[in-house]
Amino acid sequence: MDQKIKNLTMEDKFLFFLLHINMLSNHAENIMDGVGNLAVSNLRQDNEKSYYMLVGAVYELVIVKYVSFYDEFMKHSDLIPDKELQMSLRAKLNVNRKLWPDLKNYRNQIVAHNYRKGLDSIFLFANGVTYIIPRTDEEFLELAVTMKEINLLLKYKYPKEFDEFEKDRVGFVKRFVE
End-to-end CA distance of the chain: 11
State the Cα–Cα distance between residues 81 and 117, nearest whole angstrom. Answer: 38
85 CB-near residues (< 8 Å, 6+ apart) = 153, 154, 157
Express each pLDDT in 21-66 by its tens digit: 999 999 888 888 887 776 666 666 677 777 777 778 888 999 999 9
Amino acid identity for residue 55 in this structure: V
Query: Is 176 within 8 Å of 26 (Cβ atoms)?
Result: no
Express each pLDDT in 123-165 by its tens digit: 655 566 688 999 988 998 999 999 999 999 999 999 999 998 8
- The pTM (predicted TM-score) of the whole model is 0.84
State the Cα–Cα distance between residues 91 and 107, nearest whole angstrom. Answer: 22
* Residue ranges per structural domain of the chain: 10-166
Query: Is 104 within 8 Å of 131 (Cβ atoms)?
Result: no
State the Cα–Cα distance between residues 104 and 92, nearest whole angstrom. Answer: 17
Express each pLDDT in 93-125 by its tens digit: 999 999 999 999 889 888 887 766 666 666 655
pLDDT at 1: 45
State the Cα–Cα distance between residues 54 and 60, nearest whole angstrom. Answer: 10
Query: Is 23 within 8 Å of 165 (Cβ atoms)?
Result: no
To 10 degrees, what angle do helices 83-99 and 137-157 make?
A: 170
State the Cα–Cα distance between residues 77 and 14, nearest whole angstrom. Answer: 8
Q: Is 41 strand, coil or helix?
A: coil
